[in-house]
Chain A
Amino acid sequence: MTYSSLLAVIQTPHIDYTAILPELICIGGALALLLTGALAVRQLPTVVYTAMTVAISVAAVVSSLVLWHIVQLHGAFAAIAKSLAIDGFSVAFVLLASCVLVVAALAADGFLRREEVAGPEYYALALLSASGAMFMASANDLIVIFLGLEIMSIPLYILAGFDHRRQESGEASMKYFVLGAFSSAIFVYGIALTYGATGSTNLAEIASFLANNVLTSNALLLAGLGLLLVGFGFKIAAVPFHMWTPDVYEGAPTPATGFMAAIAKVGGFAALLRVFYSSFHTLAIDWQPVLFVMAILTLLTGAILGLVQRDIKRMLAYSSINHAGFVLLGLQAATASGVSASLYYVFVYAFLVLGSFTVIELVGKRGDRAHPIEGYRGLARREPFLALCLALLLLAQAGAPFTTGFLAKLYVVEAAVQAHSYALAVTAMLAGAIAADFELRVVFLMYGASAPAPAEATDAAPAFSIEGSLAVPDPVSSAPAPGASTGTLASAAVMTGHDLATVTVAGAAASERVEVPLLARAALVLTCGFTVVLGIWPAPLFAFVHAARLLF
């Protein structure tokens, strides 16, 4: 059979390239980055790759805004053999994923140079991962959701292990990979059972099948739905599928943690909301109780286990579990306003978590290890800018008024009350209060009195005693001891006394100060600005979220 006669037999779908323009820009950009890295004669400075990534993600932002405009003017449409749904809801999430990329690229630049893992790979992986989240958001077919899920997750596994010098990083990558692969296998099996029960993997066809047929025995369908929920639960870190979260958040390089926390929630919740709300809405009476229990467990587990953490990355991991519970509140309501509230929450949370992890990345210092919460004591005096940003972002996460976090919590709880899930609303407020306790504790530590931790003081005692014996002015002895200065001292032990003193003081002073690169500062200004400006003046974001309606 010749090629032309084959073409006559096989009907290829019309491909609407504008519908997938943001995804194409991200994937093309990732390839361009890798190609630039491979073809460059000399190793290019990291800032070149950062600039390219920011340009690519800004292009994705612009193209999703164009798509938003098209959808608002001409209405929602299904594209590429009805496998993609281009509606306000999907474009809103695509826009969010592109914004997350911009901030993540700005935040990662300084880290990559500091840890000497520079190169285009980090950015290429981030772009690919974001394109997966965009596909998940605009998918109108369970198979496209699965492909998007994998395109999003596989780069995230690598990003978690990106810092190849740290053993924890490889371990985090391994754990994330094994549990991620497990969850996607469960997800595929869920799709297979749903396909068997409804005869299609297309979300719209599933919805119309369920609307037009009364199932005498829907055990197969419910099993499929349950497995789908398990698969999503792993991705969004909902209890009882959250076990990987603290370990992976702690072990992964800090900017990768922030990106992962934001993008996995964006993709996961976009697909979860669409599948459950638009396709399986007729089965709401079956899945609402399950989500009710899941939301309560997620809220309380995140809040209570967050209280006992000593590592700030683990603490934020539990806080992110708690936030996932809040987003589930909006879905559990199974109303249009509930879905809008969830969308609003994810929108707000993505920026909060990105900003928080950017501060932690900078405070973590070279080696990416200084993450005990105790190390944040008195940060406001040493690093007023970073402390202010982190305080703002944590206050927003705790739901303080005049921040986006407050309105986000308000809307999801309101949706739960409207759906008469009073117990859930009360639990959410209780869990929110518990979570606020550990989030605000860090704020108090930062702005409280500065006192060196005893363990660190004894650790550094030799360094300072040598300094003292050389009668060098000792301006830093009251500061928490930097581990790096001891290392510098050991390597400098063969130098003359004068040199030794200079090196020690210089080393101590250098490691005491936290280097804040310009681009990371820009990322922090963006996230904090978003949080405060739209917290005080919420109308634009609220209007945006309300315009982001689902197609079906």
Chain B
Amino acid sequence: MTVSAAWYLTLAAAMFSIGAIGLLVRRNVLVMFMCVELMLNAANLTFVTFARELNDVGGQAVVFFVLVVAAAEVVVGLGIIVAIYRRRLGATADDIHVLKG
């Protein structure tokens, strides 16, 4: 039994939407980071699916770049959270409100 590419693309689109909605709805910064990871991995899944469809190795190579960037981004993000934590306790976006707007 084979699973067609459309299913993978649908799954990726669903993952991407869940990530995007989660980022906009959730208030915990750590969960927001996880949502960004979900979105990036949805993009990775799309790349791999298309690479297989097109029989082109380029799309698979891209995934490595995206993974590395995602890792670098998380490192900086967690660093920023720690820097804020050291001044105050809690990682809820609503508590970070010195700047208006």
Contacts and interface: CB of A to CB of B under 8 A. Distances in A.
A157 B76 contact: yes
Contacts of B58: 195, 200-201
Given A146-B69, A188-B66, A200-B58, A170 B43 contact: no
Contact of B101 (A157, A182, A192, A247): A247
Interface residues of A, number: 39
A147 B101 CA distance: 30
A251 B100 CA distance: 10
A264 interface: no
A171 to B, nearest CB: 5
B80 A147 contact: no
Contacts of A250: 99
Interface in A173-213: 173-175, 177-178, 181-182, 184-186, 188-189, 191-193, 195-196, 199-201
Contact of A177 (B46, B80, B87, B97): B80
Nearest to A165: B87
B83 A251 contact: no
Nearest to B61: A143
B50 A170 contact: no
A170 B81 CA distance: 9
A199 B54 contact: yes
B41 to A, nearest CB: 9
Contacts of A191: 43, 62
Given A182-B36, A199-B54, A246-B101, A174 B69 contact: no
Chain A interface secondary structure, helix, strand, loop or mixed?
A: helix
A143 B33 CA distance: 22
B80 A199 contact: no
Contact of B76 (A158, A201, A251): A158
A146 B87 contact: no
Given A174-B80, A251-B99, A181 B43 contact: no
A199 B36 CA distance: 26
B98 interface: yes
A147 B69 contact: yes
B77 A177 contact: yes
Contacts of A184: 69, 73
Contacts of B72: 150, 154
B73 A201 contact: no
A381 interface: no
A164 B33 CA distance: 22
B53 A196 contact: yes
Contacts, number: 118
B46 A196 contact: yes
Interface residues of B, number: 46
B83 A189 contact: no
Given A150-B73, A188-B43, A195-B47, A168 B98 contact: yes
A251 to B, nearest CB: 5
Nearest to A199: B54
Interface in A5-62: none
B27 to A, nearest CB: 11
A178 B59 contact: no
B46 A171 contact: no
Contacts of A146: 65-66, 69
A113 to B, nearest CB: 22
A92 B88 CA distance: 45
A172 interface: yes
A161 interface: yes
A186 to B, nearest CB: 7
Interface string B62-101: 1001100100110011011101100110000100111111
Contacts of A158: 76, 79-80
A164 B83 contact: yes
A378 to B, nearest CB: 27
Nearest to B99: A247
A146 B66 CA distance: 9
B50 A171 contact: no
Interface string B1-41: 00000000100100010011001000001001100100110
Contacts of B19: 185
A350 B96 CA distance: 30
B28 to A, nearest CB: 11
A189 B46 contact: yes
Contact of A189 (B42, B56, B69): B42
B32 A161 contact: no
Contacts of A171: 84, 96-99
A167 interface: yes
Contacts of B54: 196, 199
A181 to B, nearest CB: 4
5 tightest A-B CB contacts, nearest first: A185-B39, A192-B46, A196-B50, A188-B43, A247-B99
Interface of A: 143, 146-147, 150, 154, 157-158, 161, 164, 167-168, 170-175, 177-178, 181-182, 184-186, 188-189, 191-193, 195-196, 199-201, 243, 246-247, 250-251
21 contacts: A147-B65, A154-B72, A154-B73, A158-B76, A161-B83, A164-B83, A167-B88, A173-B80, A181-B73, A184-B73, A185-B39, A185-B40, A188-B43, A191-B62, A192-B43, A192-B44, A195-B50, A195-B59, A199-B56, A201-B59, A250-B99
